[in-house]
Amino acid sequence: MERKDYYKYLFLIGAIWNLIVGLMFIGLSPLADSLVPMFDMEVPPSLVFYHSFFGIVAVFGIGYYLVARDINKNHGIVVLGAITKFYVFILYLAYFVLGYSNFIPILFVIIDLIFACLFIEFLINFKKIE
């Protein structure tokens, strides 16, 4: 597989991942009283931040789809995506270490950490494949 095709698939898979996670958690929000405690977290009094967070996750999925369509453009989305994915991983890891959540959320954000590393690899190597 050519490197350009690999990167297109990388961002397409990243788009699908973000859209599935974002829309799934938004769709499951009516069950928050039952689901959030499974993560050893408290249900917030308002779900506005929950909806905002997962809405942004889905929007980033749209951004990764735009990158997949033309890997020569929209590299700013890739930079922001890598930063965001690292931040979310560190945040959830800190909450786990401090005892504010269990290991289940870490499973999701480990996938984000892998994507962040692959996105950085793309940014480093992209100019070499043009």
- Over the stretch 1-40, which tens digit does the pLDDT of each residue have? 788 999 999 999 999 999 999 999 999 888 888 888 888 8
**Whole-number CA gyration radius for the chain:** 16
pLDDT over 90 percentage in the chain: 71
Banded model confidence at residue 41, pLDDT cuts 50, 70, 90? confident
The model scores a pTM over 0.75: yes
Segments of the chain assigned E as strands:
none
pLDDT surpassing 60 at residue 90: yes
Domain count, the chain: 1
Per the structure, the complete domain to which residue 37 belongs is given by: 3-129
Q: What is the pLDDT of residue 31?
A: 85
Alpha-carbon gap, residue 105 to 119, rounded angstroms: 21
